[in-house]
Structure 1
């Protein structure tokens, strides 16, 4: 039975890597549609009550016990209060969510996709939302950055689930969100400057897995690679973005919003 151990170890590794890979759209719903819809609407109401014109939003796409240490949310995006045109041509106000998603059938390639809260939470494992509301000035800068296309200017479609935040060789959803935030803060889309600023001021999340295991995973998953890392494997997470903004006095409100309508501390 000795030969089974490497198989079990590999399965555990791939599960861990998949737990990080939350940048996917259109996954199967685990809750009733009306439950997801009600939760999504309550998230919108909560954010609006806090005065959020734009905020960073996170979701939980895998069971907590499968997530690597220090990682709480599997996908991160930016929600912007917008006029939304419905299929019948009418217009309503609500939050449009600006995502980086992996392309279907091409997990190592990403695209920028706008969806809405119900879509965003459709395939989640847990109905909890991470919410980071920046200061009003930073909110306005983020809104301006997205409306002027700066989110596209700081997008790199070469995807890795554990992309380094300190260079632009590869990118994941959370690093892309950080890029938009920093483009808004520093008023530039010069990637060399943005990455220099990230190295100077942003502390990423250490990925607690050996290089051998990550290398093994890269043999089986197109969206896992460490080639953009120098030394320890570090990536961007929802929580590290929260700490970064909090430490620099750029947060108005942060919370985890739960299914029962309660909210708790994010960090």
Structure 2
């Protein structure tokens, strides 16, 4: 599968001081920074806990989200979600997800290991694991293991892309559209618009975030990866914008009866039932 590769971290790197160049990440601007040993240990710990849980689950694919930033003011916990495959062509338990290209207005679909997923300057080392029903797992595996992984990718990125518009795309929106393609009858979804029509017709509800005038002005002038012009005039007037959040994707899976298990993995202790996204 011809997907770009994210920064590779070998196991031996735990003994080294690493500089993360940051070729891509889930929405924020990229800066070169030294990865502290504590951060590296925490990432390896979370990767190991995630791997162990997935191995025991018997799943062939799961959806995993991380806490990249503090979104508590919006009532949200998790920021970015990817699909992780047991038997990916690039290796066991590899993520397939959309990442923003260093704060620019472009993105790519990346396959990436478990450690890398938790090495993105996270707000908290915690993950939520969603395991879909077996039929959906099977169809997602077929899509994400081959060229169809990029079929619904649109490289023009906005962090707050409107879920039912096709001008931009963000990471959770790409995954939501891919889930819809997997849920729909075979061959029914070929385009982003068709995927959006499908999930809208099957009960998807976006979350909304409030962005005030000052925040919007700052974002518009300083960040290439935040755009507002795909949102409606009502959203702009109310300063409340629809987004494809991790919570909205989880809620959609629940609404469509496609979810079997949802657990939170922290740095220690047993997995806990997920009650907040």
TM value normalised by structure 1: 0.81
2:127 is equivalent to residue 129 of structure 1: yes
Deviation per CA, 1:190-231, whole angstroms, max 9, x where unpaired?
Answer: 222212223332101101223563244212111111111113
The 3-state SS of whatever aligns with 1:178 is helix
Q: 1:164 aligns with which of 157, 162, 169?
A: 162
1:239 is displaced (CA, Å) by: 1.2
2: CA distance, partners of 1:202 / 1:60 = 22
Q: 1:60 aligns with which of 57, 67, 83?
A: 67
1: CA distance, partners of 2:30 / 2:177 = 19
Please identify runs of 4+ aligned residues in structure 1 that moved more than 4 A: 22-28
2: CA distance, partners of 1:182 / 1:211 = 34
2:173 is equivalent to residue 193 of structure 1: no
1:241 is displaced (CA, Å) by: 0.8
On the 8 A contact 1:22/1:74 being kept in 2, the answer is: no
Moved more, 140-149 or 176-185: 140-149
Matches within 5 A, 1:84-163: 94-104=92-102, 107-123=104-120, 124-163=122-161
On the 8 A contact 1:59/1:76 being kept in 2, the answer is: yes
Q: Residue 231 of structure 2 aligns with which residue? A: 229
TM value normalised by structure 2: 0.78
1:127 is displaced (CA, Å) by: 1.5
Moved more, 205-214 or 45-54: 205-214
The 3-state SS of whatever aligns with 1:255 is strand
1: CA distance, partners of 2:62 / 2:29 = 18
On the 8 A contact 1:215/1:225 being kept in 2, the answer is: no
For structure 1, the 5+ residue unaligned runs are 1-19, 86-92
| Count of aligned residue pairs for this structure pair | 238
1: CA distance, partners of 2:162 / 2:47 = 31
2:69 is equivalent to residue 69 of structure 1: no
On the 8 A contact 2:65/2:246 being kept in 1, the answer is: yes
2: CA distance, partners of 1:220 / 1:96 = 33
Q: 1:265 aligns with which of 262, 268, 273?
A: 273
